[in-house]
């Protein structure tokens, strides 16, 4: 499972992670 897939699955439970997923889509891989 890739990092993006992990975050995508977690984002369904934690709305905050949707921001992280958006950052990943923009090419940012650092999680703040």
User: How far is residue 29's CA from residue 4's CA, in Å, rounded to a whole number?
Assistant: 9
- Residue 9 tokens read as 């699955």
Structure confidence by residue, pLDDT tens digits, 4-32 = 888 777 667 777 666 666 666 665 555 54
Q: Would you say residue 17 lies in a domain?
A: yes
For residue 15, what are the domain limits?
A: 1-26
Q: Would you say residue 31 lies in a domain?
A: no
Q: How many domains are there within the chain?
A: 1
Q: Would you say residue 20 lies in a domain?
A: yes
Q: Is the pLDDT of residue 3 over 80?
A: yes
- Residue 31 tokens read as 């999680």
Q: Which residue has the tokens 């992280």?
A: 20
Q: Would you say residue 22 lies in a domain?
A: yes
Q: Would you say residue 1 lies in a domain?
A: yes
């Amino acid at each position: 499972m890739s990092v993006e897939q992990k975050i995508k699955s977690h984002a369904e439970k934690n709305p905050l992670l949707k921001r992280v997923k958006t950052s990943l889509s923009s090419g940012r891989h650092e999680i703040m």
